[in-house]
Amino acid sequence: MAIGLNTIYPSARFIDTDAKGDVQEVSAQDASDASASIQGIQIDAVASNVDGNGITFQITENNVGDSITATDNTVTLGLFKQASDYRLNEYSIDTLSTSAHTGIEIGEFIYFIADDTVSWKENATGTSTNVNVTAGTSLEVIGKDGTNRPVVVIDGTEYAVMAGNYKTTFGRRLDSITTILGTASTDVTDLVSITLTGSDSDNLTGTGSVVTEGGNLAVESELNPNSKYLLLDIADIYDLEESEILDGRKLFYGLLETATANIASSGATSDSLVINRGNLILVTDNKLRRSYNITATLDILDSDLSDES
């Protein structure tokens, strides 16, 4: 009956090398979840490890409005205006659109990105008035005048917005990416978790897309952790073929025969370990037998092989 290798040597493993002698065994790997990143936006898959791979996140522009939606395995950050005008966590203004300021509709906002003194007309009288406005001011468009100019309220007075400095110090307010992401439905949040890694004032650079990757299952090492291994080439073990490596009997015999022969040929001697190798005896027409006598001298305290005297 064959005796399994690990019955004799429980921790025994066989390691392969390539043509350069590099070890080919699989290294241990922790499980990891899939993710992607684009323009300061971090996308982490909700599904664990490999199940989170392959989700597309894309940024598009010039849509009918701002939105964050999901269809099948694709999440789309759809922007009303040009992507490069949007900031990650701050309001910004539309600077690239060719539309005039009269295109800013009721319910939208005018936003100032810099301090300015604007000359706007009081809506009630048509009188031009200089108005000081500070950066960061948002003004809701509450109506239109007779020439379709946006009308806003500052300190209780209605003003018709004039075109001067439009798209320079003020313009149509664009929501921050944070604000848009906050409108995500469960179709999106069931697929991905989205966070911002860039600075609040960072602008997007344009359209683009990424695909989540890097989700992996845990892989256990083929070797025991925190262990040292004795490495022998099987070519150094007497008469052991690659097809026989799991046969513990043949491995043990090969090690014994190799050790006995090499010790004898080296001329080395030991008082604590003496191996006597008997002659071959014919048992049957196709079998021989050889006996080995091993004498070990042990320390009485720990039964370890005694040091040489």
Residue 307 vs residue 231, higher pLDDT: 307
The whole-number pLDDT of residue 1 equals 47
Average pLDDT of the residues in 234-258:
89
DSSP secondary structure string, 168-180? TTEEEEE--HHHH
Q: What is the dihedral of CA 132, 133, 134, 136, to 10 degrees?
A: 180
Residues 174, 108: Cα–Cα separation, whole Å: 9
CA 174-178-179 angle, 5° bins? 55
CB atoms within 10 A of CB 196: 17
The whole-number pLDDT of residue 177 equals 98
Q: What is the per-residue pLDDT across 135-166, written as a single tens digit (0 to 9) for each? A: 999 999 999 999 999 999 999 999 999 999 99
Beta bridge partners of 289: 281
Average pLDDT of the residues in 167-175:
95
Joined together, the tokens standing for residue 63 give 């849509």
Average pLDDT of the residues in 167-176:
95
Residues 144, 102: Cα–Cα separation, whole Å: 8
The whole-number pLDDT of residue 70 equals 97
Residues 120, 130: Cα–Cα separation, whole Å: 7
- Report helix, strand or coil for 45: strand
* pLDDT at residue 103 is higher than 90: yes
Which is nearest to 161 in space by CA: 114, 118, 116? 118
Q: What is the per-residue pLDDT across 35-85, written as a single tens digit (0 to 9) for each? A: 999 999 999 999 999 999 999 999 999 999 999 999 999 999 999 999 999
Joined together, the tokens standing for residue 260 give 């006995």
Residues 28, 225: Cα–Cα separation, whole Å: 10
Residues 138, 123: Cα–Cα separation, whole Å: 18
Question: Who contacts 104 (Cβ-Cβ below 8 Å, separation ≥6)?
Answer: 110, 141, 150, 161, 172
Question: Who contacts 219 (Cβ-Cβ below 8 Å, separation ≥6)?
Answer: 26, 27, 28, 29
- Give kind and range of the element (H or E) at residue 150: strand 150-154
The whole-number pLDDT of residue 205 equals 96
The whole-number pLDDT of residue 226 equals 82
Residues 178, 12: Cα–Cα separation, whole Å: 56
Joined together, the tokens standing for residue 147 give 């020439």
Q: What is the per-residue pLDDT across 176-211, written as a single tens digit (0 to 9) for each? A: 999 999 999 999 999 999 999 999 999 999 999 999
Q: What is the per-residue pLDDT across 82-99, written as a single tens digit (0 to 9) for each? A: 999 999 999 999 988 778
Return the CATH fold of 92-174: SH3 type barrels. (2.30.30)
Beta bridge partners of 166: 170
